[in-house]
Amino acid sequence: MSSDKVKVEALRGLEPIAALSGSRLGELAELTFIERVSKTLDPFRVKGVSGQLVYLLKGELALILGNGSSEVVVGGTAEARHPIGRKTPFASAKAITDIEVIRIDDDLLDIMVTWDQLAAAEEGAKRTTAAESPSIGNWAILTGLFSINNLKSGGAFSQLPTAHINELLKRFKRVTTKRGEVVVREGAEGDYYYVVETGKCLVERSVGGVSMRLAELKSGDAFGEEALVANAKRNATVTMLTDGTLLRLDKNDFNELLKKPLLHGVNMDVARAKVAQGGQWLDVRYPSEYQYDKLPGAINIPLAEIRNAVKILDKSREYVVYCQTGRRSSAAAFLLAQRGLRAYVLEGGLGGGEARAR
């Protein structure tokens, strides 16, 4: 069995994929591969169709039904425009000729279709009303933030309640920035949440009077959330390395549409139950605090290191995040949830008397 990327033209002939915008089809083509299966083999013997949309592009495929009868699907026909097995469930299959099929994740496509249709509806409303010009309302502008790769990774925007999607499209504002412009200054009050739409940014923090380079942000990366979640001052300075555009969300809108849906608090009883069932305590305080007073089995990743630690954490596992008061852990849990991890905040932190009785 061999594979190559599918062409956009092939996707345009499939339902309901054909309804997606051109830019989404292009992204989907980059993530979708053709599977070539030899004659007489069952393409679903090892990997079935559950949770996927599977399409026959070329060749002839026999579907063996539960009653022993069979149906033949031929690539390129009207029937082959629709996913295999959606209309008539089958027990097994057999390639009558050499065939080509593609698989697309069901949830991913559903997220894409939802965003695409709501974005299109918002854009249509703008053509009939005097909407503000900076408002975000179409996929072309949101290429970085709502790219398929971001949605597929299980990040913040794949987890949002559907009802919030349309409001986000209305409330995000697009801001043009120049190279060298300081967007966020360390020590200032938190007022906005930002996503890089185009261009690059430099994140720096002052340590002992010396500016330390922390990260370089690119299209699709977000910043500014820590100060908003923790109700604290900015802990770093963000400067544009190039000209670019940012998507900006007001603090109140951020709290309503992103923070509340993504930030989940649990009390000690629930937290212990989650850990007993395979979850992990995550202490986001300084190592000196962690060594002196930690919960049994906890691992230590200070808040400042959470972004870099995401790639080593297990997305299949639940994390119960704690600090002394709940402030740092709230910020850390949001950062984790934003990147697709299941994170919960221990309400009140270790400062709550309940946490001490362990």
Q: What sign does the dihedral 34-37-43-47 (CA atoms) show?
A: negative
* φ, ψ dihedrals at 34, nearest 5°: -80, 130
pLDDT (0 to 100) of residue 252: 87
Specify the residue for token string 């013997």.
45
Judge if 172-258 and 263-356 fold alike in CATH terms. no
Q: Could you tell me which residue, 216 or 161, shows the higher pLDDT?
A: 216
- Residues involved in catalysis: 323
User: Is 182 in a helix, a strand, or coil?
Assistant: strand
Most confident range (mean pLDDT) of 50-54, 110-114, 215-219, 241-245 is: 241-245
Dist CA 321 CA 2 (whole Å): 43
Q: How many of the other CB atoms lie within 10 Å of CB of 172?
A: 25
CB 57 within 8 A of CB 79: no
What is the total residue count of the chain?
A: 358
Averaged over 172-177, what is the pLDDT?
A: 90
> Any idea what the Cα angle at residue 239 is, between residues 237 and 240, rounded to 5°?
160
Residue closest to 48 by CA, chosen among 108, 101, 96: 101
CATH of domain 2-106: 2.60.120.10
- Supply the mean pLDDT for the chain: 82
Token readout for 45 is 């013997």
Specify the residue for token string 């591969």.
33
- Name the β-bridge partners of 283: 300, 322
pLDDT (0 to 100) of residue 165: 64
* φ, ψ dihedrals at 335, nearest 5°: -60, -40
CB 247 within 8 A of CB 172: yes
Confidence of residue 120 (pLDDT cuts 50, 70, 90): low
Inter-residue long-range contacts of 251-255, CB under 8 Å, 24+ positions, other chains counted: 251/190, 251/191, 251/192, 251/193, 253/167, 253/171, 254/192, 254/193, 254/225, 254/228, 255/228
Confidence of residue 118 (pLDDT cuts 50, 70, 90): low
Q: Do the strands 342-346 and 318-322 form a parallel or antiparallel pair, or are they unpaired?
A: parallel
Query: Which is the CATH superfamily of the domain at 172-258?
Result: Jelly Rolls (2.60.120.10)
pLDDT (0 to 100) of residue 46: 85
User: Is 149 in a helix, a strand, or coil?
Assistant: helix
pLDDT (0 to 100) of residue 185: 94
Sketch the domain layout of the chain as residue ranges. Answer: 2-106, 172-258, 263-356
CATH of domain 263-356: 3.40.250.10
pLDDT (0 to 100) of residue 358: 43
Averaged over 152-158, what is the pLDDT?
A: 54
Residue closest to 143 by CA, chosen among 157, 129, 160: 157
What confidence tens digit (pLDDT) does each residue in 296-320 have? Answer: 999 999 987 888 888 899 988 999 9
Token readout for 333 is 């849990």
pLDDT (0 to 100) of residue 130: 39
Q: Do the strands 318-322 and 280-283 form a parallel or antiparallel pair, or are they unpaired?
A: parallel
